[in-house]
Amino acid sequence: MSSAAPGSQVVVEAPGTHRVEAHTPREPGPGEALVAVHAVGICGSDREVYQGNRPEGYVRYPLTPGHEWSGTVSQVGPGVPASLVGRKVVGEGFRNCQVCDRCHAGETTLCTDGYEETGFTQPGAMAATLTLPARLLHALPDDADLTAAALLEPAACIAAAALKGNAQPGERVAVVGTGTLGMFAVQFLHAISPSELLVVGTRNDREALSRQFGATDFRTKNAENSELPDDFDVVIETAGSASAARTAASLLRRGGRLVLTGIPAAGAEGLDPTDLVVRQLEVHTVFGAPPDAWAHTVRVFGAGLLDPLPLITHELPLTEFPQAIELVGAGDPKVGKVLLRP
């Protein structure tokens, strides 16, 4: 079978074990919407789910994965505006309680009621349809490209970083890391008209794309004679290693603003607290995307300031889920974002 039949879904029974089976849409209950899934992205955390090395408490098997997705609302439950039907949408993943202090403060990724997220502990989008609370949906412009929109979840995580960095027009800004998140960071920072936008990575082959997205300079950390500057106002780190965090901090002027988004392996040697205090650096971190970051992402995307399409290199049917997981973890520089198409 070369493509998934209509109404299919991926189910990961347990680490390393999956099946593609017939999917039955779940009728939306009060406050819910049923979305016809257009495309679903795969990221490193989906690979963790399949391989079984996602931290305990952050996955529940058996599971339909898929937390990066786009689609069209086909049905709504009681209490949901009928005007949502037919709208192109993306959706937040965190299933927050809405009543704790953190939720009321808008920090829904810090909900104190425990962790629940689409595609990890709740059914995800590697299926023909997805039923979820309608309050998590963000409507897109009618002419939005749904294939591009499937990448708005990782973009929203970086939007959260850009908002925390609070870069102002004319400031000098930098991005450390050249993966999907790094390329989104370049686009968000370019949109605020910085005087300089430096990208630091380990791969020369990302220079052209970085400059296409607005970078004014590109350096590789391991290049000979490549002394990095130390006078930037804002730096966003997206690479997920302790060394990347240290590089990001070293780029900043005294009093500069650092935003860390990557999650290094446990026990990594981190930043030097003496350096942080003496240089009076402002350090922010991001774990997931709260509603304001999603709204910002959809607004920037709708304005044409965010272009995810160049980051997509592979589109596969649901039946090729294991091949897609393999591609994501292969470390091949030719592999960018991989999408599955239900």
Chain centroid to CA 63: how far? 20
Binning pLDDT at 50, 70 and 90, where does residue 1 land?
very low
The Cα 168–Cα 256 span in angstroms is: 12
Around Cβ 318, how many Cβ atoms within 10 Å? Answer: 23
Q: What is the C-alpha separation between 128 and 71, in angstroms, rounded?
A: 10
Which run of H or E residues covers position 248?
helix 242-250
Overall pTM > 0.75: yes
Each residue's pLDDT tens digit, 274-295: 999 999 999 999 999 999 999 9
Q: What is the pLDDT of residue 5?
A: 44
DSSP state of 67: -
DSSP annotation of 212: H
Mean pLDDT for the stretch of residues 227-238: 96
Angle at 326 between CA 323 and CA 332, to 5 degrees: 120
Task: Please give the average per-residue pLDDT across 262-284, as a whole number.
Answer: 91
Q: How confident is the model at residue 226 (pLDDT cuts 50, 70, 90)?
A: low
Summary mean pLDDT of the chain: 94
Q: Are 276 and 249 in contact (CB under 8 A)?
A: yes
